Chain A
Amino acid sequence: MGEKQNILITGAASGIGRASALRMAKSHHVIVADRDGDGAGTVTSEIVAAGGTATAIAVDVSDGASVRAMKAQIESNIGPVLSAFFAAGIFIRGVTGEIPEADWDRMMDIHVKGTFLCCQAVIPDMIAANKGAIVNMSSDFAVMAVPGAAAYMAAKSAIYSLTKSIALEFAPQNIRANALGPGPIDTPILKSGRTEAEYAKAREAFAENLPIGRLGQPEEVAAVLDFLLSDRSAYMTGQIIHPNGGQLMW
Chain B
Amino acid sequence: METMIVTGAGSGIGSALTRRLLDENYHVSAWDTDPGDLAGANDENLDFCELDVRDADAMSAAVAGAVGKTGKIAGLATCAAIFHTRPFLDVTEDEWDSHLSINLKGTLLACQAVLPQMLEQKSGSILLFASSIARRGAAESAAYAATKGGVLGLGRAIALDHARAGIRANILSPGITDTPQPRGNMSEDALYDWADNIPLGRIGMPEDMLGTALFLLSDEASFVTGQDIRVNGGASLF
A interface list, Cβ under 8 A from B: 164, 167-168, 171-172, 174, 176, 183, 185, 210-213, 216-217, 220-221, 223-224, 226-227, 230-239, 241-246, 249-250
| Residue contacts A-B, CB under 8 angstroms, 24 given | A164-B237, A167-B237, A171-B199, A171-B201, A210-B163, A211-B160, A212-B163, A216-B223, A220-B223, A223-B222, A224-B224, A227-B211, A232-B212, A232-B215, A235-B205, A235-B231, A236-B230, A236-B231, A237-B234, A245-B163, A246-B163, A246-B226, A249-B160, A249-B226
> What mask results when residues 141 to 172 of chain B are scored 1 for a CB within 8 Å of chain A, else 0?
00000000000000010011001100000000
Question: Which residues does chain B contribute within 8 Å of A244, judged by CB atoms?
Answer: 223-224, 227
Question: Which residues does chain A contribute within 8 Å of B200, judged by CB atoms?
Answer: 171, 174, 176, 235, 237
- Closest CB in chain A relative to B153 CB, distance in Å: 10
| Other 6 A-B pairs with CB < 8 A, given A212-B223, A235-B205 | A168-B237, A211-B225, A227-B215, A235-B231, A235-B233, A246-B163
- Closest CB in chain B relative to A154 CB, distance in Å: 19
Question: Which residues does chain B contribute within 8 Å of A167, judged by CB atoms?
Answer: 199, 234, 237
Q: Contacts A236-B212, A237-B199, A241-B229 known; A211 to B221 CB distance under 8 Å?
A: no
> Are A211 and B163 interface neighbours, CB within 8 A?
yes
B211 interface neighbour in A171, A221, A223, A234, Cβ under 8 Å: A234
Question: Which residues does chain A contribute within 8 Å of B208, judged by CB atoms?
Answer: 234-235
> Are B223 and A245 interface neighbours, CB within 8 A?
yes
A243–B222 Cα distance when bound, in Å, is 8
Question: Which residues does chain A contribute within 8 Å of B215, judged by CB atoms?
Answer: 227, 232
Closest Cβ neighbor of A223 among chain B residues: B220
Q: Contacts A234-B211, A236-B212, A236-B231 known; A172 to B224 CB distance under 8 Å?
A: no
Question: Which residues does chain B contribute within 8 Å of A230, judged by CB atoms?
Answer: 211
